[in-house]
Structure 1
């Protein structure tokens, strides 16, 4: 055809993915008759190049998807003929097309079917079947088309519009009525004909049956001839996995509970008599994983039937269903205990649901108790790591095992609900025997024994010993196990998994040490020596740093005798690691944060006098301050940028560590009461010079600013003398992010100290405002999204600052800025309320306007402010909601409207009748509002917010 030859394509050309070719096919899609050119090329088989054929189908797909409605009857007929002619070519060809072309062709067939089946092509399937007969090439396309139709019409994972959903329902109804029996017959013929000679086609057909069974009449599939055929496929190596999936879909179909039980039972009997229940003889793990999924589906189907029948009160049939279900439990247990985790994981759902049934029964039979114990032993065995698990470099296999362990934990929790005594006894037995022989046991046995003990804390209700009591007569099983864990010496075991499990369990059951504090020294030594913080594995050291901080927080009241010993033992772990090459610190910076917090908790909560606490805190923080001064001096002299960054990070960590120690203080143990104010004021004095450092400003400012936030909380008014100088430095050479992060600090000071900081705020107000104006006025690229977002966030911060000042009862801060400055600020608030389509900022602006009207809008308010109300605030309240960007379907915008209305109400409250007259006589007429409407307004309307 002329169109394709424009590119000089010939039958044998191998067409590369060149931009010209892609652009050309895009042109063909958009042109009026391009699809006809492509259709003819496909129908006549002109091109052998796979990419050309694929693109031709794409052009047809585009036409059907987006322009089908505008085609004439003859053009629609041409598309149908094109597809059938292309299919006919496949029947005559000795070679099959590539899968990607067949899939695209199937998509085009499916799209055509969706568009035309209900109207002009009701015989779609009959035409297709009569053409392809039993030709394997033709059936391949037919089956792919059925899967493509399933994806478009049935697949529940794809979102459809209401219109598409209605159309799909009509298509399925029509198919059920007119052609499903014929399709099912065709599937049977394919499965029977090709089960020996063409496994690929047979598997495709099984996939189709599995997909369609969810919405067609089940009796067409769940009958002797079909099921027997499927079961015969279960014995063919190439077919059995797909046959398993197909049977799973049949079992999964929604049905009446009695019918479902019958179906599962008949399937079960046939599978059992065929020898499939003898799992240990099967070596193919891939098949067993599919079979396990099938058994899981059968089991869950019976559980669902039993639940429905029990609710209906059908006791006899429910009991029969339970018997059928329990008959599957031995098979379930074989699969659960299988050494392959995929096989085991696929049966967990059935196992979980079965335990849920047992939980609901008033009394368990001996057999049911045995089943519970068997599940328990299986879970304990399957929780165990295998030799291949790579603890040093965990990859995908390790991640899958961790997920699988989570499923097993769910089973363990469910076992605890069914029989807590039995579970506790079993775990205790395993734990005790393992702890007696831990020196000779393999690491995975020791780890899982401690792990099971750890899991009891969550699994068992408190009434079964998950808590510890001081009463010796009531000493719980968990208390005995904790004693064994600590005294057995197992913390010396040389495997990271055991070490970590030991510390995790000690911290999980830290309340034990409140009851038996005599064990604290032993455990403290484990934390502090080669078993914990000095372990050879960085992973262990890191986790132990965190766990140690939790342990100390819980038991700080019992640490008094050990405080100074602990502090001296961890001293080297509290050193600031200098940014020298080759220096490997034992702990990372994040881990050190936990260590500083722990040290702080020990000092603050000790029973020693305040001067001793001060001395300890000073010895903790002085090395940080000294290191900080040295590093800051180095940084100012350093020219190399990489080295500057390393030094700045180190300085930032020093500030962070000092800050973290302050987390130990509380309302009862304040900095002042502990005598530590002076130490933290020294820290402030040491850290503040970093604000004027000419390099690495972002890192340093951020660290010092965070420290100031903490000190405002901890030191209260003692911090105030430092704020002016700090602010001055932070306002120099600002970036949007600097300002945005500085404003919350000022807001915190304003909200906390109010009138105490009024002189400072009056002084800093305009410099801060001008710095913000300067940053916001900087030119930016039109499409620079980052700059636009930074400016938006800075504007929000600015308005939040004005709101904080206005709401803190310090109207003198703004009132004393001079008329010109006040006017500038007020205009920015009006602008924020009206001009920027940012409802968060708009809402804040109307809150500010309300507050200012309240403060200055009365008879004795700010000179000239009433005039500003009428000229600017009132119009803002009308103009903002009239903006096309004011979207009332957005929740924030609705809140903005509410604040806007409130502003009008407060203006009315302050100005009374004068305001009503202004609206009636001046403002509303200027908006061309008719006199009838303006005269209807009364004061009640405004005071109730009806004006909006």
Structure 2
């Protein structure tokens, strides 16, 4: 072997040696016989270096995996001998190989087995077993190999679809030939090593668990095996793996009667052995495994009961249900256990048991007691513990949140089984806690409110929506809500309680429609130190959002208006750290807007209120904009630009309050927003921090186009002029949707402006696209691709908006230049999204200008350039018909040909038959066929035909190697 190259296998080797090692690896992999030196090195144990051994196994693995069929019979025999000789060496070594080498060896053994077992090496297992006997090193490799075979052939978590038939054949052959022998070997290993080598015993238990799903269960589920497993349950090092093994046995698919017998016999033995005494067990890791086992047994019994009920086997079903009920005391012990992992592992059985109860026509007293016990357990387990870190939530906290979601599922199921019992239980807990909230622990108060919150989703609508206002029918929910908002618990000093209070108030906002007398107290809680001025930023942030939701629901908050608008400035910077982040302040301004717009005041009053809300923003904006160019520090510039962007964002957010029923005009606020535009637009010409300023003003313009209608139009020309100066690809890409929005909304109203701005915009795009970029600059390439798409979308908007004159009045040379870029986009760029848009544009232009009274010279252009584009595009090697977007492009391409035929008629058919198709060396028969399809009235016929022909790209319709029509040079070079 190349000793120099092997030096590069060391993780600490320098790059040169590592590169050489990689090259050597590729050489050995690809060679017909060079890999044999690796086989020899493994068989003779030539190298002691672990990395070299691993390397040799990797080379061998590649041969077996990818080249096995091409190896000669001698070479295949060499691999078998190598593996057996290497295994023999392991039996004689005093020290085993490192685990990573043993794992790799097991993978190679497993791969060889998969390739050769049925045909070339039927005695695979017998050869290995006779060699290793009960030698611990050999047994270790044997067990690892069995797990590797499971991964290759059986493991349901690994996708095996291409090899399903092969794997089925392997399993069938193993069942016929060797499974009893393997099971016997497992029993011998478990018996021999349970005291001396616990790690081997655990490995063997894992193997049994993996294989039991597809072998004859009687080989495992018998007295000697189960007794052995139960003895392992009492050994500290083995008990967890023994639990997992029993779980796999219980999980095996079986006839429901047999499954019930198996589970019941196993339960009996476990109970007799004292395993059901959960309180006395201190090992939580074991209990988590045991809980999973009990969960498996319980779910298996429920499944058996379901199958028996469906089959109409009433007597056996009743016995099975009795068996399920007998496990409920154990279920409850595990569900209520203080360790959440133990509790979480039994939730599945608990959920399924409740589902059984839901299906019963009538519940016994014991079943009702079980339901109540589960409710109490869920309520207890929902409670936070002392260690929960609310300020810095980590992995443990995330796990508890997930666990709470599981408990919520149980609560929802409890509500389906017995809504009355659940409502009464929650009411009892809630009322007791609220009576003593001042002295109660935070977690007790939080969970009491949380339960009230969860009822909203858990209970049927008839309960959840029962805020009827009829005192004779006052619901439990209404009582609890009244208690919540009047008992003073909103002042509890803990973030979890504060958050739960506001979440619940907003969930049950309909309560305040029935009992509006509570609104002032709740609003005070929202606005003072309990809510928006809370000491915790987390609470303030969430409350800002919840408050906006609350206000939108309850439109009768008119009296709040003035005080809220006056106090909104408290939440802004004003030289101090802001109480709310800028994102949270957005909700505040939206809320203020909603209050103003939906108020019952006359339009003049609404205008005055909106002005009082927005004037401070405009004043601050002008002041900061004047300071910005004078700042020399980039960090300070960025901070000022941030403040300016936020001011624009806040003003923009207030406009979300308007609707079709309450427009800006109807509310008398047009002038206020026009003033905002005049205040904000100068930022477009600011020489520093152009990116963020342009972005925020552009977003504001988008909103104003929607809200101000034609009142916005006078501002557009100047804004456009500023935005087109010194722009980058991203600026243009973001500007085009604005122009497209104006075009689509105002159409002919903006035609003169569009005619004026069209070529400057197009030229700015060409200039940016033509800028050279480095070959490997993927970000720049993507920006250009997105800009190109935006450009084509812009042309499509113009072409589709019925404003023919916008492009028609640009002069012949400019029109030609633009249309050539569309041809180029349709053919030259491997971007199906852009290509599809280009063909849509070409169709539209043919429709507009391609008729008898169309644009002068355009029919010539159709024949010279548009028709060839329709044939050239599908020819490109990048035209990938497995891609959905490309198929849509092909469809648009067909449509373009169809529209040309509609506009030019027989002249087009004649052109194809006599000029164009013969120039492509297409046979007259095929040309005739295509022309007949083109003349069919249904365009679908043509689309299907072209797709079939494109799929057969080498057909005589379109020949790849013919000289096709000339396409003009790029109109924007350097792309």
Which bracket does the TM-score occupy, shorter chain normalised? Answer: over 0.9
In structure 2, the CA distance between the partners of 1:837 and 1:943, relative to structure 1 (3 Å rule), is: farther
Asked if 1 retains the 8 angstrom alpha-carbon contact of 2:531 and 2:543, the reply is yes
SS at match of 2:882: coil
With normalisation by structure 1, the TM-score equals 0.97
Equivalence for 2:871: 878
Is 1:614 aligned to 2:612, yes or no? no
Asked if 1 retains the 8 angstrom alpha-carbon contact of 2:347 and 2:406, the reply is yes
Is 1:755 aligned to 2:755, yes or no? no
Superposed, which structure 2 residues align to 1:114-153 within 5 Å? Answer: 114-153=114-153
Equivalence for 1:269: 268
Looking at structure 2, the residues matched to 943 and 927 of structure 1 have their Cα atoms a distance apart, in angstroms, of 26
Superposed, which structure 2 residues align to 1:770-919 within 5 Å? Answer: 770-919=763-912
Asked if 2 retains the 8 angstrom alpha-carbon contact of 1:447 and 1:497, the reply is yes
Is 1:250 aligned to 2:244, yes or no? no
Asked if 2 retains the 8 angstrom alpha-carbon contact of 1:427 and 1:453, the reply is yes
Measure how far apart 1:111 and its partner are.
1.5
Superposed, which structure 2 residues align to 1:382-393 within 5 Å? Answer: 382-393=381-392
In structure 2, the CA distance between the partners of 1:887 and 1:254, relative to structure 1 (3 Å rule), is: same
Looking at structure 2, the residues matched to 22 and 330 of structure 1 have their Cα atoms a distance apart, in angstroms, of 64
Measure how far apart 1:942 and its partner are.
4.8
Measure how far apart 1:716 and its partner are.
0.4
Asked if 2 retains the 8 angstrom alpha-carbon contact of 1:431 and 1:449, the reply is yes
Asked if 1 retains the 8 angstrom alpha-carbon contact of 2:901 and 2:934, the reply is no
Looking at structure 2, the residues matched to 633 and 53 of structure 1 have their Cα atoms a distance apart, in angstroms, of 71
Specify every segment of 5 or more residues in structure 1 that has no aligned partner in the other structure, as ranges. none
Asked if 1 retains the 8 angstrom alpha-carbon contact of 2:43 and 2:86, the reply is yes
Equivalence for 2:230: 231
Equivalence for 1:559: 557
Is 1:598 aligned to 2:591, yes or no? yes
Specify every segment of 5 or more residues in structure 2 that has no aligned partner in the other structure, as ranges. 947-975
Superposed, which structure 2 residues align to 1:612-761 within 5 Å? Answer: 612-761=605-754
In structure 2, the CA distance between the partners of 1:292 and 1:939, relative to structure 1 (3 Å rule), is: closer
Equivalence for 2:963: none
Measure how far apart 1:886 and its partner are.
2.2
Asked if 2 retains the 8 angstrom alpha-carbon contact of 1:468 and 1:476, the reply is yes
SS at match of 1:558: coil
Superposed, which structure 2 residues align to 1:239-318 within 5 Å? Answer: 239-318=238-317
Is 1:23 aligned to 2:17, yes or no? no
Q: What are the superposed Cα offsets for residues 226-272 of structure 1, whole Å, 9 maximum, x if unpaired? A: 11111111111111000000000011111111111111111111111
Q: What are the superposed Cα offsets for residues 155-193 of structure 1, whole Å, 9 maximum, x if unpaired? A: 12222352x222222111111111111000000000111
Looking at structure 1, the residues matched to 592 and 157 of structure 2 have their Cα atoms a distance apart, in angstroms, of 53
Q: What are the superposed Cα offsets for residues 792-813 of structure 1, whole Å, 9 maximum, x if unpaired? A: 1111111111111111111011
Measure how far apart 1:775 and its partner are.
1.0
Is 1:50 aligned to 2:47, yes or no? no
SS at match of 2:509: coil
Asked if 1 retains the 8 angstrom alpha-carbon contact of 2:641 and 2:693, the reply is yes
SS at match of 1:215: coil
Asked if 1 retains the 8 angstrom alpha-carbon contact of 2:455 and 2:464, the reply is no
Measure how far apart 1:17 and its partner are.
4.2
In structure 2, the CA distance between the partners of 1:419 and 1:778, relative to structure 1 (3 Å rule), is: same
Is 1:458 aligned to 2:480, yes or no? no
Asked if 1 retains the 8 angstrom alpha-carbon contact of 2:419 and 2:459, the reply is yes
Asked if 1 retains the 8 angstrom alpha-carbon contact of 2:839 and 2:893, the reply is yes
Measure how far apart 1:459 and its partner are.
0.4
Measure how far apart 1:114 and its partner are.
1.5
Looking at structure 1, the residues matched to 722 and 588 of structure 2 have their Cα atoms a distance apart, in angstroms, of 32
Equivalence for 2:412: 413
Equivalence for 1:469: 468
Superposed, which structure 2 residues align to 1:908-947 within 5 Å? Answer: 908-935=901-928, 937-938=931-932, 941-945=935-939, 946-947=941-942
- Deviation larger for 142-151 or 109-118: 109-118
SS at match of 2:141: helix
Looking at structure 2, the residues matched to 439 and 133 of structure 1 have their Cα atoms a distance apart, in angstroms, of 71
Equivalence for 1:204: 203
Measure how far apart 1:53 and its partner are.
2.0
Asked if 2 retains the 8 angstrom alpha-carbon contact of 1:345 and 1:404, the reply is yes
Equivalence for 1:586: 579
Asked if 2 retains the 8 angstrom alpha-carbon contact of 1:553 and 1:598, the reply is yes
Equivalence for 2:105: 105
Measure how far apart 1:932 and its partner are.
3.1
In structure 2, the CA distance between the partners of 1:301 and 1:312, relative to structure 1 (3 Å rule), is: same
Q: What are the superposed Cα offsets for residues 348-402 of structure 1, whole Å, 9 maximum, x if unpaired? A: 0000011111111111111111111111000000000011111111111111001
Q: What are the superposed Cα offsets for residues 13-33 of structure 1, whole Å, 9 maximum, x if unpaired? A: 999545426633524444444
Asked if 2 retains the 8 angstrom alpha-carbon contact of 1:736 and 1:794, the reply is yes
Looking at structure 1, the residues matched to 504 and 780 of structure 2 have their Cα atoms a distance apart, in angstroms, of 49
Asked if 2 retains the 8 angstrom alpha-carbon contact of 1:4 and 1:37, the reply is no
Measure how far apart 1:473 and its partner are.
2.0
Measure how far apart 1:893 and its partner are.
1.9
In structure 2, the CA distance between the partners of 1:452 and 1:630, relative to structure 1 (3 Å rule), is: same
Equivalence for 1:221: 220
- Deviation larger for 104-113 or 28-37: 28-37
Looking at structure 2, the residues matched to 846 and 836 of structure 1 have their Cα atoms a distance apart, in angstroms, of 13
In structure 2, the CA distance between the partners of 1:943 and 1:864, relative to structure 1 (3 Å rule), is: farther
Looking at structure 1, the residues matched to 486 and 302 of structure 2 have their Cα atoms a distance apart, in angstroms, of 46
Equivalence for 2:962: none
Q: What are the superposed Cα offsets for residues 15-61 of structure 1, whole Å, 9 maximum, x if unpaired? A: 95454266335244444444332222222223322222222222222
Equivalence for 1:434: 433
In structure 2, the CA distance between the partners of 1:8 and 1:717, relative to structure 1 (3 Å rule), is: closer
Superposed, which structure 2 residues align to 1:68-79 within 5 Å? Answer: 68-79=68-79
Asked if 1 retains the 8 angstrom alpha-carbon contact of 2:371 and 2:414, the reply is yes
In structure 2, the CA distance between the partners of 1:925 and 1:944, relative to structure 1 (3 Å rule), is: farther
**Alignment RMSD, CA only?**
1.8
Asked if 2 retains the 8 angstrom alpha-carbon contact of 1:214 and 1:250, the reply is yes
Looking at structure 2, the residues matched to 637 and 702 of structure 1 have their Cα atoms a distance apart, in angstroms, of 21
Looking at structure 2, the residues matched to 7 and 852 of structure 1 have their Cα atoms a distance apart, in angstroms, of 65
Equivalence for 1:487: 486
Is 1:328 aligned to 2:323, yes or no? no
With normalisation by structure 2, the TM-score equals 0.94
Number of matched residues? 937
Looking at structure 2, the residues matched to 127 and 328 of structure 1 have their Cα atoms a distance apart, in angstroms, of 46
Looking at structure 1, the residues matched to 42 and 6 of structure 2 have their Cα atoms a distance apart, in angstroms, of 17
Superposed, which structure 2 residues align to 1:350-389 within 5 Å? Answer: 350-389=349-388
Looking at structure 1, the residues matched to 161 and 656 of structure 2 have their Cα atoms a distance apart, in angstroms, of 54
Q: What are the superposed Cα offsets for residues 888-913 of structure 1, whole Å, 9 maximum, x if unpaired? A: 22222222222222222222222222
Measure how far apart 1:935 and its partner are.
4.0
Looking at structure 2, the residues matched to 944 and 535 of structure 1 have their Cα atoms a distance apart, in angstroms, of 68
Looking at structure 2, the residues matched to 940 and 202 of structure 1 have their Cα atoms a distance apart, in angstroms, of 75
Looking at structure 1, the residues matched to 832 and 136 of structure 2 have their Cα atoms a distance apart, in angstroms, of 63
